[in-house]
Structure 1
Amino acid sequence: MRYDAIIFDFDYTLADSSKGTVECINYALDNMKLSCVPFEDASNTIGLSLKDTFISLTDKKYHSHDNFYLFSELFVKRADEVMAEMTFLFEPIKNEIEKLKDKGFMLGIVSTKFRYRIENILKRDGLIGYFDIIIGGEDVKENKPSPDGLLSAIKKLKKNKEDILYVGDSMTDLKTAKNAGVDFVAVTTGTTTKSKFEKNGVKKIVDNIVKLDNYVG
Protein backbone atom coordinates (compact mmCIF):
# COMPACT_ATOMS: atom_id res chain seq x y z
CA MET A 1 0.00 0.00 0.00
CA ARG A 2 1.20 3.49 -0.81
CA TYR A 3 1.10 5.89 2.14
CA ASP A 4 1.31 9.66 2.02
CA ALA A 5 2.94 10.08 5.41
CA ILE A 6 5.09 8.04 7.77
CA ILE A 7 5.02 8.93 11.46
CA PHE A 8 7.64 7.56 13.82
CA ASP A 9 7.97 7.02 17.52
CA PHE A 10 11.31 8.48 18.67
CA ASP A 11 13.02 6.56 21.47
CA TYR A 12 14.31 3.14 20.34
CA THR A 13 12.74 3.72 16.90
CA LEU A 14 14.92 6.54 15.60
CA ALA A 15 17.31 6.96 18.51
CA ASP A 16 18.88 5.31 21.54
CA SER A 17 18.29 7.43 24.63
CA SER A 18 18.67 4.57 27.09
CA LYS A 19 21.78 5.89 28.87
CA GLY A 20 20.23 9.31 29.34
CA THR A 21 16.90 7.91 30.46
CA VAL A 22 18.48 5.61 33.04
CA GLU A 23 20.63 8.47 34.32
CA CYS A 24 17.57 10.70 34.76
CA ILE A 25 15.46 8.00 36.40
CA ASN A 26 18.11 7.14 38.96
CA TYR A 27 18.91 10.81 39.57
CA ALA A 28 15.26 11.38 40.45
CA LEU A 29 14.95 8.26 42.61
CA ASP A 30 18.18 8.99 44.46
CA ASN A 31 17.09 12.55 45.24
CA MET A 32 13.79 11.17 46.54
CA LYS A 33 15.76 8.84 48.84
CA LEU A 34 14.45 5.80 46.96
CA SER A 35 16.46 2.88 45.64
CA CYS A 36 18.05 3.25 42.23
CA VAL A 37 17.16 0.57 39.69
CA PRO A 38 19.25 -1.59 37.32
CA PHE A 39 19.88 -0.38 33.78
CA GLU A 40 17.65 -3.01 32.18
CA ASP A 41 14.68 -2.29 34.44
CA ALA A 42 14.94 1.44 33.82
CA SER A 43 15.49 1.16 30.07
CA ASN A 44 12.44 -1.08 29.74
CA THR A 45 10.28 1.88 30.74
CA ILE A 46 11.30 3.95 27.71
CA GLY A 47 8.15 5.10 25.95
CA LEU A 48 6.05 5.24 29.11
CA SER A 49 4.87 8.48 30.66
CA LEU A 50 6.91 9.64 33.65
CA LYS A 51 4.04 8.77 35.97
CA ASP A 52 3.83 5.23 34.58
CA THR A 53 7.62 4.94 34.75
CA PHE A 54 7.56 5.79 38.45
CA ILE A 55 4.70 3.36 39.08
CA SER A 56 6.49 0.52 37.29
CA LEU A 57 9.77 1.00 39.18
CA THR A 58 8.64 1.69 42.75
CA ASP A 59 6.58 0.12 45.49
CA LYS A 60 2.89 0.96 45.60
CA LYS A 61 3.29 2.70 48.97
CA TYR A 62 5.17 5.51 47.20
CA HIS A 63 2.45 6.10 44.59
CA SER A 64 1.06 9.48 45.52
CA HIS A 65 0.32 12.61 43.53
CA ASP A 66 3.14 14.47 45.31
CA ASN A 67 5.67 11.75 44.48
CA PHE A 68 4.55 11.57 40.84
CA TYR A 69 5.06 15.32 40.58
CA LEU A 70 8.44 15.31 42.33
CA PHE A 71 9.75 12.41 40.25
CA SER A 72 8.71 14.16 37.03
CA GLU A 73 10.22 17.46 38.16
CA LEU A 74 13.56 15.85 39.05
CA PHE A 75 13.64 13.74 35.88
CA VAL A 76 13.03 16.77 33.65
CA LYS A 77 15.62 18.84 35.54
CA ARG A 78 18.31 16.23 34.94
CA ALA A 79 17.14 15.54 31.39
CA ASP A 80 17.53 19.21 30.49
CA GLU A 81 21.16 18.87 31.55
CA VAL A 82 22.19 15.55 29.98
CA MET A 83 19.55 13.95 27.74
CA ALA A 84 20.51 15.47 24.39
CA GLU A 85 24.21 14.67 24.76
CA MET A 86 23.39 11.12 25.87
CA THR A 87 20.97 10.40 23.00
CA PHE A 88 22.22 9.11 19.66
CA LEU A 89 20.35 8.53 16.42
CA PHE A 90 20.72 5.00 15.10
CA GLU A 91 23.45 4.77 12.46
CA PRO A 92 21.36 4.40 9.27
CA ILE A 93 18.67 6.90 10.25
CA LYS A 94 19.93 10.00 8.44
CA ASN A 95 20.31 8.31 5.05
CA GLU A 96 16.97 6.55 5.35
CA ILE A 97 15.11 9.71 6.35
CA GLU A 98 16.64 11.49 3.35
CA LYS A 99 15.55 8.64 1.04
CA LEU A 100 11.98 8.65 2.36
CA LYS A 101 11.75 12.40 1.94
CA ASP A 102 13.14 12.18 -1.59
CA LYS A 103 10.39 9.65 -2.40
CA GLY A 104 7.79 12.26 -1.47
CA PHE A 105 6.65 11.06 1.94
CA MET A 106 5.60 13.51 4.59
CA LEU A 107 7.39 12.61 7.83
CA GLY A 108 6.46 13.08 11.45
CA ILE A 109 7.24 12.05 15.01
CA VAL A 110 4.79 11.29 17.82
CA SER A 111 6.47 10.53 21.13
CA THR A 112 6.06 10.79 24.89
CA LYS A 113 9.44 12.57 24.90
CA PHE A 114 9.16 16.35 25.11
CA ARG A 115 9.04 17.94 21.67
CA TYR A 116 11.69 20.55 22.46
CA ARG A 117 14.11 17.78 23.41
CA ILE A 118 13.48 15.89 20.16
CA GLU A 119 13.90 19.11 18.19
CA ASN A 120 17.24 19.84 19.87
CA ILE A 121 18.57 16.38 19.00
CA LEU A 122 17.39 16.61 15.39
CA LYS A 123 18.87 20.10 15.02
CA ARG A 124 22.19 18.85 16.37
CA ASP A 125 22.25 16.08 13.77
CA GLY A 126 20.94 18.17 10.88
CA LEU A 127 17.60 16.39 10.47
CA ILE A 128 15.04 18.85 11.82
CA GLY A 129 14.13 20.09 8.34
CA TYR A 130 13.02 16.65 7.15
CA PHE A 131 10.07 16.42 9.54
CA ASP A 132 6.74 18.04 8.79
CA ILE A 133 5.28 17.56 12.27
CA ILE A 134 6.60 16.67 15.73
CA ILE A 135 4.21 15.97 18.61
CA GLY A 136 5.77 15.54 22.04
CA GLY A 137 4.58 14.79 25.54
CA GLU A 138 3.88 18.44 26.30
CA ASP A 139 1.53 18.73 23.31
CA VAL A 140 -1.16 16.28 24.44
CA LYS A 141 -3.49 15.83 27.40
CA GLU A 142 -2.99 12.06 27.42
CA ASN A 143 0.18 10.25 26.44
CA LYS A 144 0.36 7.03 24.43
CA PRO A 145 -1.37 4.61 24.12
CA SER A 146 -3.98 7.35 23.90
CA PRO A 147 -4.30 8.20 20.19
CA ASP A 148 -4.38 11.95 20.92
CA GLY A 149 -0.87 12.68 19.65
CA LEU A 150 -1.19 10.58 16.52
CA LEU A 151 -4.62 11.98 15.67
CA SER A 152 -3.32 15.51 16.21
CA ALA A 153 -0.43 14.86 13.83
CA ILE A 154 -2.78 13.43 11.19
CA LYS A 155 -5.03 16.48 11.46
CA LYS A 156 -2.13 18.91 11.17
CA LEU A 157 -0.78 17.03 8.14
CA LYS A 158 -4.29 17.30 6.62
CA LYS A 159 -4.36 13.59 5.85
CA ASN A 160 -6.77 10.71 6.35
CA LYS A 161 -6.03 7.77 8.64
CA GLU A 162 -5.59 5.40 5.70
CA ASP A 163 -2.83 7.66 4.37
CA ILE A 164 -0.72 7.15 7.50
CA LEU A 165 1.81 4.53 8.58
CA TYR A 166 2.96 4.60 12.21
CA VAL A 167 6.34 3.04 13.03
CA GLY A 168 7.30 2.09 16.58
CA ASP A 169 9.24 -0.32 18.76
CA SER A 170 6.90 -1.15 21.63
CA MET A 171 3.54 -2.58 22.59
CA THR A 172 2.55 0.94 23.61
CA ASP A 173 3.20 2.08 20.03
CA LEU A 174 1.14 -0.81 18.68
CA LYS A 175 -1.77 0.07 20.97
CA THR A 176 -1.47 3.72 19.96
CA ALA A 177 -1.75 2.84 16.28
CA LYS A 178 -4.75 0.57 16.94
CA ASN A 179 -6.47 3.23 19.02
CA ALA A 180 -5.92 5.78 16.26
CA GLY A 181 -7.04 3.38 13.53
CA VAL A 182 -3.85 3.55 11.46
CA ASP A 183 -1.51 0.91 10.01
CA PHE A 184 1.53 -0.07 12.05
CA VAL A 185 5.02 -1.39 11.36
CA ALA A 186 7.08 -2.69 14.29
CA VAL A 187 10.84 -2.25 14.51
CA THR A 188 12.88 -4.47 16.80
CA THR A 189 15.49 -1.86 17.73
CA GLY A 190 13.93 -1.55 21.19
CA THR A 191 13.29 -4.02 23.98
CA THR A 192 10.22 -5.70 22.43
CA THR A 193 11.05 -8.89 20.55
CA LYS A 194 9.80 -10.00 17.16
CA SER A 195 8.05 -12.98 18.76
CA LYS A 196 6.13 -10.74 21.15
CA PHE A 197 4.94 -8.58 18.28
CA GLU A 198 3.92 -11.70 16.35
CA LYS A 199 2.00 -13.06 19.35
CA ASN A 200 0.06 -9.79 19.37
CA GLY A 201 -0.92 -10.08 15.74
CA VAL A 202 1.64 -7.76 14.15
CA LYS A 203 2.33 -8.81 10.56
CA LYS A 204 4.73 -6.06 9.54
CA ILE A 205 7.98 -6.32 11.50
CA VAL A 206 11.42 -5.02 10.47
CA ASP A 207 14.88 -5.02 12.04
CA ASN A 208 15.20 -1.24 11.58
CA ILE A 209 13.66 1.51 9.48
CA VAL A 210 15.98 0.77 6.55
CA LYS A 211 13.71 -2.23 5.89
CA LEU A 212 10.62 0.00 5.61
CA ASP A 213 10.96 -0.17 1.83
CA ASN A 214 9.32 -3.60 2.07
CA TYR A 215 6.07 -1.89 3.07
CA VAL A 216 6.13 1.64 1.68
CA GLY A 217 7.65 1.08 -1.77
Structure 2
Amino acid sequence: MYKAYVFDFDYTLANSEKGIVMCFQLLFEVEGYDGIPEEAIRRTIGMTMYDAMALLTGETDPDRVNALIWEYKVRFSDKYMTANTHLYPQTLPTLHALKDAGALCCIASTKTRSRIGETLRKYQMESLIDLVVGVEDVAKAKPAPDGINAVCRHFGLDKKDVLYIGDNTIDARAAKNAGVAFAAVTTGTTTSQEFARLPHVAIMKDLSEILTIP
Protein backbone atom coordinates (compact mmCIF):
# COMPACT_ATOMS: atom_id res chain seq x y z
CA MET A 1 0.00 0.00 0.00
CA TYR A 2 1.14 3.55 -0.71
CA LYS A 3 1.33 6.30 1.89
CA ALA A 4 -0.38 8.81 -0.41
CA TYR A 5 -2.90 8.48 -3.21
CA VAL A 6 -3.09 11.54 -5.44
CA PHE A 7 -6.05 11.75 -7.79
CA ASP A 8 -6.90 13.63 -10.90
CA PHE A 9 -10.46 14.98 -10.65
CA ASP A 10 -12.47 15.05 -13.90
CA TYR A 11 -13.25 11.53 -15.19
CA THR A 12 -11.31 10.08 -12.23
CA LEU A 13 -13.14 10.97 -9.03
CA ALA A 14 -16.10 12.65 -10.69
CA ASN A 15 -17.95 12.70 -13.98
CA SER A 16 -18.28 16.35 -14.96
CA GLU A 17 -18.75 15.59 -18.66
CA LYS A 18 -22.36 16.80 -18.80
CA GLY A 19 -21.51 20.18 -17.28
CA ILE A 20 -18.38 20.69 -19.38
CA VAL A 21 -20.08 19.79 -22.65
CA MET A 22 -23.11 21.91 -21.80
CA CYS A 23 -21.03 24.99 -20.99
CA PHE A 24 -18.94 24.69 -24.15
CA GLN A 25 -22.02 24.18 -26.31
CA LEU A 26 -23.80 27.18 -24.82
CA LEU A 27 -20.70 29.32 -25.36
CA PHE A 28 -20.23 28.14 -28.94
CA GLU A 29 -23.88 28.82 -29.74
CA VAL A 30 -23.63 32.39 -28.45
CA GLU A 31 -20.27 33.07 -30.09
CA GLY A 32 -21.06 31.45 -33.43
CA TYR A 33 -18.68 28.48 -33.40
CA ASP A 34 -20.67 25.92 -35.36
CA GLY A 35 -20.09 22.27 -36.08
CA ILE A 36 -17.89 21.37 -33.10
CA PRO A 37 -18.80 17.78 -32.23
CA GLU A 38 -19.58 16.71 -28.69
CA GLU A 39 -16.91 13.99 -28.85
CA ALA A 40 -14.26 16.63 -29.59
CA ILE A 41 -15.28 18.48 -26.42
CA ARG A 42 -15.14 15.30 -24.36
CA ARG A 43 -11.64 14.55 -25.61
CA THR A 44 -10.37 17.86 -24.21
CA ILE A 45 -11.39 17.01 -20.63
CA GLY A 46 -8.13 16.89 -18.69
CA MET A 47 -6.46 19.64 -20.70
CA THR A 48 -6.05 23.13 -19.32
CA MET A 49 -8.97 25.37 -20.18
CA TYR A 50 -6.71 27.48 -22.38
CA ASP A 51 -5.51 24.52 -24.42
CA ALA A 52 -9.03 23.11 -24.72
CA MET A 53 -10.54 26.40 -25.83
CA ALA A 54 -7.80 27.08 -28.36
CA LEU A 55 -8.02 23.58 -29.81
CA LEU A 56 -11.81 23.54 -30.12
CA THR A 57 -12.22 27.04 -31.56
CA GLY A 58 -9.05 27.21 -33.61
CA GLU A 59 -8.31 30.63 -32.11
CA THR A 60 -4.64 31.60 -31.89
CA ASP A 61 -4.91 35.08 -30.37
CA PRO A 62 -4.34 34.71 -26.62
CA ASP A 63 -6.58 37.69 -25.84
CA ARG A 64 -9.45 36.09 -27.74
CA VAL A 65 -8.94 32.70 -26.10
CA ASN A 66 -8.84 34.27 -22.64
CA ALA A 67 -11.97 36.31 -23.39
CA LEU A 68 -13.79 33.10 -24.34
CA ILE A 69 -12.59 31.41 -21.16
CA TRP A 70 -13.86 34.33 -19.08
CA GLU A 71 -17.26 34.15 -20.78
CA TYR A 72 -17.37 30.35 -20.35
CA LYS A 73 -16.77 30.73 -16.62
CA VAL A 74 -18.91 33.74 -15.76
CA ARG A 75 -21.89 33.10 -18.02
CA PHE A 76 -22.09 29.32 -17.91
CA SER A 77 -19.65 27.38 -15.73
CA ASP A 78 -20.46 29.24 -12.50
CA LYS A 79 -24.12 28.36 -13.05
CA TYR A 80 -24.08 24.86 -14.51
CA MET A 81 -20.82 23.07 -13.75
CA THR A 82 -21.07 21.84 -10.17
CA ALA A 83 -24.78 21.07 -10.47
CA ASN A 84 -23.92 18.71 -13.32
CA THR A 85 -20.85 17.10 -11.71
CA HIS A 86 -21.39 13.75 -10.00
CA LEU A 87 -19.08 11.38 -8.17
CA TYR A 88 -18.60 7.90 -9.53
CA PRO A 89 -20.28 5.23 -7.36
CA GLN A 90 -16.88 3.86 -6.30
CA THR A 91 -15.40 7.22 -5.26
CA LEU A 92 -16.63 7.60 -1.70
CA PRO A 93 -16.24 3.92 -0.69
CA THR A 94 -12.70 3.86 -2.08
CA LEU A 95 -11.69 7.08 -0.35
CA HIS A 96 -13.18 5.88 2.94
CA ALA A 97 -11.26 2.60 2.67
CA LEU A 98 -7.98 4.37 1.95
CA LYS A 99 -8.45 6.82 4.81
CA ASP A 100 -9.40 4.00 7.20
CA ALA A 101 -6.12 2.32 6.26
CA GLY A 102 -4.22 5.49 7.21
CA ALA A 103 -3.36 6.76 3.73
CA LEU A 104 -3.32 10.36 2.57
CA CYS A 105 -5.81 11.18 -0.20
CA CYS A 106 -5.13 14.26 -2.31
CA ILE A 107 -6.12 15.83 -5.62
CA ALA A 108 -3.85 17.35 -8.27
CA SER A 109 -5.86 18.58 -11.25
CA THR A 110 -5.97 21.00 -14.16
CA LYS A 111 -9.35 22.08 -12.81
CA THR A 112 -9.37 25.04 -10.45
CA ARG A 113 -9.12 24.33 -6.74
CA SER A 114 -12.13 26.55 -6.14
CA ARG A 115 -14.33 24.55 -8.53
CA ILE A 116 -13.19 21.23 -7.07
CA GLY A 117 -14.01 22.59 -3.63
CA GLU A 118 -17.61 23.14 -4.69
CA THR A 119 -18.01 19.42 -5.42
CA LEU A 120 -16.27 18.43 -2.18
CA ARG A 121 -18.74 20.57 -0.26
CA LYS A 122 -21.67 19.32 -2.32
CA TYR A 123 -20.92 15.76 -1.23
CA GLN A 124 -19.72 16.73 2.28
CA MET A 125 -16.45 14.90 1.63
CA GLU A 126 -13.91 17.53 2.69
CA SER A 127 -12.63 15.28 5.47
CA LEU A 128 -11.66 12.61 2.94
CA ILE A 129 -9.29 14.87 0.97
CA ASP A 130 -6.11 16.03 2.67
CA LEU A 131 -4.97 18.53 0.03
CA VAL A 132 -6.24 19.94 -3.27
CA VAL A 133 -3.76 21.37 -5.78
CA GLY A 134 -5.56 23.11 -8.62
CA VAL A 135 -4.35 24.71 -11.81
CA GLU A 136 -4.11 28.09 -10.08
CA ASP A 137 -1.60 26.64 -7.60
CA VAL A 138 1.13 25.62 -10.07
CA ALA A 139 3.51 27.34 -12.47
CA LYS A 140 2.97 24.69 -15.15
CA ALA A 141 -0.02 22.40 -15.62
CA LYS A 142 0.14 18.68 -16.36
CA PRO A 143 1.96 16.92 -17.89
CA ALA A 144 4.44 19.01 -15.90
CA PRO A 145 4.95 17.43 -12.47
CA ASP A 146 4.25 20.62 -10.50
CA GLY A 147 0.95 19.52 -8.93
CA ILE A 148 2.20 16.12 -7.82
CA ASN A 149 5.45 17.64 -6.58
CA ALA A 150 3.47 20.19 -4.54
CA VAL A 151 1.69 17.36 -2.73
CA CYS A 152 4.99 15.60 -2.05
CA ARG A 153 6.58 18.77 -0.69
CA HIS A 154 3.58 19.61 1.48
CA PHE A 155 3.68 16.26 3.29
CA GLY A 156 7.41 15.53 2.96
CA LEU A 157 6.71 12.38 0.95
CA ASP A 158 9.24 10.14 -0.72
CA LYS A 159 8.26 9.64 -4.36
CA LYS A 160 8.22 5.85 -3.95
CA ASP A 161 5.38 6.22 -1.46
CA VAL A 162 3.05 8.05 -3.85
CA LEU A 163 0.56 6.71 -6.40
CA TYR A 164 -1.03 9.07 -8.91
CA ILE A 165 -4.36 8.02 -10.39
CA GLY A 166 -5.80 9.49 -13.57
CA ASP A 167 -7.92 8.88 -16.66
CA ASN A 168 -5.76 10.52 -19.34
CA THR A 169 -2.34 9.98 -20.90
CA ILE A 170 -1.60 13.52 -19.69
CA ASP A 171 -1.88 12.11 -16.15
CA ALA A 172 0.41 9.20 -16.98
CA ARG A 173 3.04 11.57 -18.33
CA ALA A 174 2.70 13.84 -15.28
CA ALA A 175 3.31 10.88 -12.98
CA LYS A 176 6.35 9.84 -15.05
CA ASN A 177 7.72 13.38 -14.96
CA ALA A 178 7.22 13.52 -11.19
CA GLY A 179 8.88 10.15 -10.65
CA VAL A 180 5.87 8.53 -8.98
CA ALA A 181 3.89 5.38 -9.78
CA PHE A 182 0.78 5.70 -11.94
CA ALA A 183 -2.52 3.84 -12.03
CA ALA A 184 -4.86 4.44 -14.94
CA VAL A 185 -8.64 4.35 -14.73
CA THR A 186 -10.67 3.96 -17.92
CA THR A 187 -13.70 5.97 -16.80
CA GLY A 188 -12.76 8.76 -19.21
CA THR A 189 -12.17 8.81 -22.94
CA THR A 190 -8.73 7.13 -22.91
CA THR A 191 -8.59 3.42 -23.67
CA SER A 192 -6.57 0.74 -21.91
CA GLN A 193 -4.58 0.29 -25.13
CA GLU A 194 -3.48 3.94 -25.01
CA PHE A 195 -2.37 3.54 -21.39
CA ALA A 196 -0.52 0.29 -22.11
CA ARG A 197 2.21 2.21 -23.94
CA LEU A 198 3.03 4.30 -20.84
CA PRO A 199 4.48 3.36 -17.43
CA HIS A 200 1.78 2.12 -15.03
CA VAL A 201 1.23 -0.23 -12.13
CA ALA A 202 -2.41 -0.88 -13.03
CA ILE A 203 -5.07 -0.14 -15.63
CA MET A 204 -8.40 -0.16 -13.81
CA LYS A 205 -12.03 -0.25 -14.90
CA ASP A 206 -13.02 1.77 -11.84
CA LEU A 207 -11.54 3.24 -8.66
CA SER A 208 -12.40 0.28 -6.44
CA GLU A 209 -9.52 -1.67 -8.03
CA ILE A 210 -7.07 0.67 -6.26
CA LEU A 211 -7.67 -1.39 -3.14
CA THR A 212 -6.16 -4.47 -4.84
CA ILE A 213 -2.88 -2.73 -5.79
CA PRO A 214 -0.10 -3.91 -3.44
Cα RMSD for the two superposed structures: 1.4
Please list the CA deviations of residues 148-167 of structure 1 after superposition, one character each: whole Å capped at 9, or x if unmatched: 11111111122111111000
* Structure 1: gaps spanning 5 or more residues: none
Question: Of 88, 106, 109, which residue of structure 2 is paired with 1:108?
Answer: 106
Quote the sequence identity (%): 35
Q: 2 CA distance for matches of 1:79 and 1:125?
A: 19
Once the two structures are overlaid, the 10-residue window that deviates more, 28-37 or 142-151, is 28-37
Normalising by the residue count of structure 2, what TM-score does the alignment of the two structures yield?
Answer: 0.94
SS in 2 for 1:145: coil
SS in 2 for 1:192: coil
| Residue pair 1:44, 1:191 contacting (<8 A) in 2 also | yes
SS in 1 for 2:119: helix
What's 1:28 paired with? 27
Q: 2 CA distance for matches of 1:132 and 1:193?
A: 29
Aligned partner of 2:143: which letter?
Answer: P
Q: 1 CA distance for matches of 2:144 and 2:68?
A: 22
Q: How does 1:69-108 map to 2 (within 5 A)?
A: 69-77=66-74, 78-108=76-106
What's 1:190 paired with? 188
| Residue pair 1:133, 1:157 contacting (<8 A) in 2 also | no
What's 2:162 paired with? 164
**Pair 1:67 & 2:54 matched:** no
* Structure 2: gaps spanning 5 or more residues: none
Once the two structures are overlaid, the 10-residue window that deviates more, 199-208 or 182-191, is 199-208
Question: Of 194, 197, 200, which residue of structure 1 is paired with 2:198?
Answer: 200
| Residue pair 1:169, 1:188 contacting (<8 A) in 2 also | yes
SS in 2 for 1:91: coil
Aligned partner of 2:77: which letter?
Answer: A
| Residue pair 1:145, 1:176 contacting (<8 A) in 2 also | yes
Q: 2 CA distance for matches of 1:31 and 1:9?
A: 31
